[in-house]
Structure 1
Amino acid sequence: MARDYYDVLGVSRDADQDELQQAFRRLARQNHPDVNKDPAAEERFKEINEAYSALSDPELRKRYDRFGEDFRRVPEDWEQRVGAGVGGSGGRTGRGRRATWTAEGTDVGGGFGGGGFEGIDIEDLLGGMFGGRGRGPRVARTAGADQEAELPLTVEEAYRGGRKEITLNGPEGPRSYTVTIPPGVNDGRRIRLTGEGGRGLGDGAPGDLYLVVRLLPHPLFRVHGRNIHVDLKLAPWEAALGATVPVATPGGESKVTVPPGSSSGRRLRLRGQGMPDPAGHPGDLFAEVKIMVPPRLSDRERELFSELATSSTFDPRRAPTDDGGGRR
């Protein structure tokens, strides 16, 4: 015996159309073959669709509630043929229970109200008098499931934006797409490709494909929101005397002025040179000072450093800590 349609959808027998639709969409998305790779999912999907096809049609639902799994073999004028509205609910119930109507209104099959058709066996009526298979289950119009895939980007690609060719492996094999990337797209942003998701059922529209941006680790840049952080390597004399030095940005090399007396950890801000934002203000780029020393000293360098060590009164262990100021 086929499963009860209400049980298939997980709804009560008095569920309204909204409840039926919500249950169907939830179950259909969970079991759609494009989404669920369980071999049994396709059969569950067909069962769910068949149940919804019947219960979402008021006339078919009325016949199903009266005749159960035999409802598709009942002619459309069944109410006129078997006495509509004569005070009973004979025949099969949605649970498939057999009943027989008598002229006295007694259900000799057990427990249902009378009808007024003496000695008529509903199962014989359906199977003989109106024999033959009825129309098959209709295919409900169902939108395809939305799908997601990751879109890895370098910091430079996210900064510039533009068009990018990608290939994704799907249920039907590899598919290539041309994606338009907005300038300044950040990690976690979803880019929608309309109609490129799961296939719809019947005349249902296909779902959408969402590409989730994932910024790849970069050897230079660290992205925090729309701000970009980069290390600014300085020689000891550049940090002590001040200098104008080049600094790398995703958009190309720029220049930054280092104030005299800059210690490691000091952040220098380049306004507006972070990630772009077409809908607002761009982020900033922060260059963090890192003082580097020569790995090997020439004789002259050693002489100069020795002279500095002898003549300087600076004690880095007692000097005030740089508070990270000097931003511009």
Structure 2
Amino acid sequence: MEFKDYYKLLEVDRTATADEIKSAYRKLARKYHPDVSKEPQAEARFKEIGEAYDVLQDPKKRAAYDQLGERWRAGQEFTPPPEWDAGSEPASGGAYTEDAADYSEFFSSLFGNFSRRGASARAQGEDHHAKISIDLEVAFQGGTHAVTLRLPQVDAQGRVVQRERLLNVQIPKGIREGQHIRLAGQGATGIQGASPGDLYLEIHFHPHALYQVQGRDLSLSFPVAPWEAALGAAVKAPTPAGVVEVKIPPGSQSGRKLRLKGRGIPGEPAGDLYLVLDVVLPKADTEQAQQVYQTMARELAFNPRQALGVS
């Protein structure tokens, strides 16, 4: 997917005011309108500048777009960075709006659930959405956590600036990735005294050093020595709730999964923790270690490729 430089498409600077952006759009729209323009590829160009204007005229979309910074060039291969919109209000993602149906893949990857503003705006304040990331441990403990959101705001000169908003959010114990927390009345202000909208926080977990998350279940790549895998052993394993003793069955191989029931994210029912065994070989970096391996090769006469029909 190619990166689109919306400022370049509208032929304005990144510091352009709202009025400057509107003026540039009107000029280019007249030039490339497919009903009157004789410019080559006028229709495609008209759609591009319309898409660019849709983003840059909307303070929220423009602020989110500006988070990507200036390190991307037009036409460069692009993938949205992980958590690029975390803390932004509203978040990207979701379904196409009817207005955005003809827009580019680039637009949809960033602004899927944004919709154009116009005559359909209601008196009641809009609901806002934001993506926040928390540590996995928070799902086991719950509690109140401070969350900083970035809000776009138009200053007196018509430029979009970021304003930070600090909220103390109650995170329930057992929350899963992808769940939403609703903060009633914390969305956009209503018009002419109407009630404000709500703020929905979509929960994501920071990458964890040990555990992979799927729903309420966790998995952990668990290293074992060859003799522990071959003969069986009782070993200690970490879990988010503390260290437990685990029995390794004799004859275990790499990839075998051991299920620790109820050791995943709390809930009704709680998730499980899966230990994925990884047989780790000692290094043969001493003469004694090399002699041990040579003895094994001689006395065990083990061919791991026998099932492949080769010796």
> 1:232-283 CA deviation, whole Å, 9 max, x = no partner?
1011111111112222222233221101111101111101001111xx1101
Are 1:241 and 2:200 matched, yes or no? no
Which of residues 284, 287, 290 in structure 1 aligns to 2:272? 284
Gaps in structure 2 of 5+ consecutive residues: 1-57, 64-116, 154-162
Is the contact between residue 284 and residue 290 of structure 2 (CA under 8 Å) also seen in structure 1?
Answer: no
Which of residues 164, 169, 173 in structure 1 aligns to 2:150? 169
Matched residue of 2:203: which SS? strand
Q: Which residue of 2 aligns with 1:148?
A: 129
- TM-score (norm. length: structure 1): 0.52
Is the contact between residue 156 and residue 251 of structure 1 (CA under 8 Å) also seen in structure 2?
Answer: no
Aligned residue identity for 1:318? Q
Are 1:180 and 2:161 matched, yes or no? no
Question: Offset of 1:34 from its aligned partner?
Answer: 8.3
Superposition CA RMSD, Å: 2.7
Question: Offset of 1:206 from its aligned partner?
Answer: 0.9
Identity %: 38
Q: Distance in 2 between matches of 1:300 and 1:246?
A: 28
Highest relative contact order (Cα 8 Å, sep 6+), 1 or 2?
Answer: 2
Aligned residue identity for 1:158? A
- 1:235-314 alignment, distance < 5 Å: 235-277=225-267, 280-314=268-302
Change (3 A) 1:256 1:210: same
> 1:109-142 CA deviation, whole Å, 9 max, x = no partner?
xxxxxxxxxxxxxxxxxxxxxxxxxxxxxxxx93
Q: Which residue of 1 aligns with 2:109?
A: none
Moved over 3 A (4+): 33-38
Q: Distance in 2 between matches of 1:183 and 1:302?
A: 51
Q: Distance in 2 between matches of 1:198 and 1:35?
A: 12
Q: Distance in 2 between matches of 1:184 and 1:191?
A: 13
Are 1:157 and 2:138 matched, yes or no? yes
Aligned residue identity for 2:145? K
Deviates more, 1:231-240 or 1:296-305: 296-305
Q: Distance in 2 between matches of 1:315 and 1:260?
A: 19
- Structure with max Cα Rg: 1
Q: How many residues align?
A: 189
> 1:72-130 CA deviation, whole Å, 9 max, x = no partner?
xxxxxxxxxxxxxxxxxxxxxxxxxxxxxxxxxxxxxxxxxxxxxxxxxxxxxxxxxxx
Aligned residue identity for 1:297? D
Aligned residue identity for 1:188? G
